[in-house]
Structure 1
């Protein structure tokens, strides 16, 4: 595999299993764009279709040169075009592109795609073999279709917020957009599976993923327990109700995370921090006992750790064979030795982006290209897909192409 230049992010590589697969991407914000970004880095030709106003994520702070970092990351490797699907020429162009694509992904609220003329039936009429992938928040049923969907709404709806934080405190959102990002991964896997199935002679025509499906998959075993018992999981703060000691503890100058989910590790913790007498304490004999009496155990561990600083305890715990780490701020984590060793960041268009979590034959998968400027490839893609010049001029005349594309026509 071609080595990536870490300064420029350049390098086409040879790991491109989706080369030759064209994906028409009508998604916006985060979940869908994250899915198609992954697929673009795997070699797919992803055509991102935006309205003249652009994807909302373009304006999300923080920004670099007027474009949000989130947009830059979620849309790397794609070609970008602008179409106004509220016009006849925009809809016609969309169907022309669909006729020449292998996959269409849309993240509109149920019924919207059909209303504007790019629903599954309309698309399949011009391309019977296309994979039509619908991404939504709560599904297209009578209940789900009426519910609005953003990551925090889904976290709130599915009980995730009430699992976070500490008793007596307000519900807490998982700070990373875990539902959006997890959904993007499911969509990417779905497309990969459908492409593989097609290669093996099984035609997959339509797929759907909802944010609510992802949310429940993230809490799968807790959801099963709640379904069976009718009881809400206990809020565990930084810990986990199935193990202890297994959370963040305060030391003299900060906090450290100790992960000792089994008996062997618990006994090592007790020895290292000087509370060996608690190993035989009836409250803490087994994992189940320690979990039930975790509040009392936390007090005992905190009292022991108060005598030294974080670095000292982490060093001693490591020497004793106990998994432990300081609790870092993100600004510290991105500069850590592990991030450097793993090559976590690749420079792309002057911005350090977190690479995809693959090493292929010892090399990172490169970003194919920076995220497109609004409408950057409109003319290129329309011409490539057979739209004639008169129709292109009409599209531009109606204001459905970006300023950049319009200027290209003038040139």
Structure 2
């Protein structure tokens, strides 16, 4: 049975790139009618590297389940179309720089003139206040600002970006969760009108406990490489044929680790007596344990640690992880238009969510959406002629 609690809810998405569109994609998979509004040239995400059959995998993913409309917001008649869609929508998402939505004519005040009950969601980079409004914002810029890049990597390495777009994707998750919460609140008679999430909010939430530590102490978190500054051993170790990750953050697991690796005497070493001691001397602990692990295979170490009840596993490349038995068992990939896309991370009654539809072609649903929101066929033709909206050309008829 499909989990579609948002059937009957319409969302108009004026966002670009990844953060907002990822959030609206989640809403689409939960049943919402998501209308993705793109400029005539298309969203930037269409043209990212990593295309399959000419369509970027980013667009295939964040565009799945939506209806696609092309509207030129620089044209007055294009704004007319946008406002007509807003009039019929429950939620407006936009990620333009602060002030731009107002300038082009789809800001919150104008949207409420058209639809007083609309839930208006502003997704931005550093907020709308005088300090943050003019700061440019992409995932790596926010990682750099928030300390994520400076705390990532090894001590002798330059600042390192966390490879997945964690700020963008995390923001999209907050967008979806907050829309769901607001709709639930409305259903219980507690109206919510305006929502906002900044990329920097997401970044700070990702480093929440480190941020509190930095705020209280005024000190920068140390780089921990593959480890974590709150416990040790809790990191990667080199073996003769690769690397493993050992997660032994508690005293009990540490003692089991030492015995499993044949260095039980380390338990009584003054440098490693407590979690705090081991964390303070984590480099010495790493060197000592590596002298054992580098002379054994990955599987040997994993078997020895596993027999002792210590969590340990291989460090894999992504190309290995996607072909793993775990990925197969979890049904990680669900095909969309013949392309394997990573499913959303929930099962409903044991079943994954199927992709409701593929990511739309540029302007694929323009005519249908305009008809839905009240435009006549003649007016739709006129808007196309003016260039304020566009659709893909109809398929050519084959000659007899």
TM-score using structure 1 length:
0.95
In structure 1, C-alpha distance between the alignment counterparts of 2:99 and 2:285, rounded to whole Å: 53
Contact 1:109-1:136 at 8 Å conserved across structures: yes
**Structure 1 residues 148-205: Cα deviation after superposition (integer angstroms, max 9, x where no partner):** 0000000000111000011121000000000000000000011000110111111111
Once the two structures are TM-superposed, the CA of residue 228 in structure 1 deviates from its matched residue by 1.1
180-189 or 311-320, which moves further after superposition?
311-320
Kindly tell me the number of residue pairs found equivalent between the two proteins: 397
Please name the residue that 1:118 is paired with: 106
Match of 1:359 among 336, 342, 347: 347
Please name the residue that 1:304 is paired with: 292
Match of 1:94 among 82, 88, 110: 82
Contact 2:126-2:135 at 8 Å conserved across structures: yes
Contact 2:98-2:124 at 8 Å conserved across structures: yes
Please name the residue that 1:173 is paired with: 161
Once the two structures are TM-superposed, the CA of residue 391 in structure 1 deviates from its matched residue by 2.5
Please name the residue that 1:109 is paired with: 97
Once the two structures are TM-superposed, the CA of residue 388 in structure 1 deviates from its matched residue by 2.2
SS of the residue aligned with 1:135? strand
In structure 1, C-alpha distance between the alignment counterparts of 2:99 and 2:377, rounded to whole Å: 32
TM-score using structure 2 length:
0.98
Please name the residue that 2:262 is paired with: 274
Please name the residue that 1:371 is paired with: 359
Structure 2 residue runs without a partner (length 5+): none
In structure 2, C-alpha distance between the alignment counterparts of 1:164 and 1:122, rounded to whole Å: 43
Match of 1:182 among 170, 173, 181: 170
Once the two structures are TM-superposed, the CA of residue 397 in structure 1 deviates from its matched residue by 1.1
Please name the residue that 2:5 is paired with: 17
Match of 2:44 among 53, 56, 59: 56
Please name the residue that 1:382 is paired with: 370
Contact 2:367-2:391 at 8 Å conserved across structures: no
170-179 or 357-366, which moves further after superposition?
357-366
Structure 1 residue runs without a partner (length 5+): 2-12
In structure 2, C-alpha distance between the alignment counterparts of 1:119 and 1:284, rounded to whole Å: 59
**Structure 1 residues 56-92: Cα deviation after superposition (integer angstroms, max 9, x where no partner):** 0001110012110011001100000000000011000
Residue 143 of structure 1 pairs with residue 112 of structure 2: no
In structure 1, C-alpha distance between the alignment counterparts of 2:390 and 2:252, rounded to whole Å: 63
**Structure 1 residues 309-363: Cα deviation after superposition (integer angstroms, max 9, x where no partner):** 1111111111111100010000000001110100000011010000011111111
Please name the residue that 1:210 is paired with: 198
Match of 2:321 among 308, 321, 333: 333
Contact 1:259-1:322 at 8 Å conserved across structures: yes
Once the two structures are TM-superposed, the CA of residue 403 in structure 1 deviates from its matched residue by 4.4
- Report matched runs for 1:179-328 at 5 Å: 179-328=167-316
Once the two structures are TM-superposed, the CA of residue 407 in structure 1 deviates from its matched residue by 3.6
Once the two structures are TM-superposed, the CA of residue 389 in structure 1 deviates from its matched residue by 2.6
Contact 2:123-2:198 at 8 Å conserved across structures: yes
After the TM superposition, which segments of 4 or more aligned residues of structure 1 sit over 6 Å from their partners?
none
In structure 2, C-alpha distance between the alignment counterparts of 1:313 and 1:164, rounded to whole Å: 26
Greater relative CO (CA pairs within 8 A, separation 6+): 1
Please name the residue that 1:5 is paired with: none
Please name the residue that 2:20 is paired with: 32
Contact 1:89-1:394 at 8 Å conserved across structures: no
Contact 2:365-2:391 at 8 Å conserved across structures: no
Once the two structures are TM-superposed, the CA of residue 402 in structure 1 deviates from its matched residue by 3.3
In structure 2, C-alpha distance between the alignment counterparts of 1:367 and 1:111, rounded to whole Å: 35
Contact 2:37-2:69 at 8 Å conserved across structures: yes
In structure 1, C-alpha distance between the alignment counterparts of 2:347 and 2:291, rounded to whole Å: 43
In structure 2, C-alpha distance between the alignment counterparts of 1:391 and 1:316, rounded to whole Å: 73
In structure 2, C-alpha distance between the alignment counterparts of 1:170 and 1:307, rounded to whole Å: 30
In structure 2, C-alpha distance between the alignment counterparts of 1:401 and 1:352, rounded to whole Å: 32
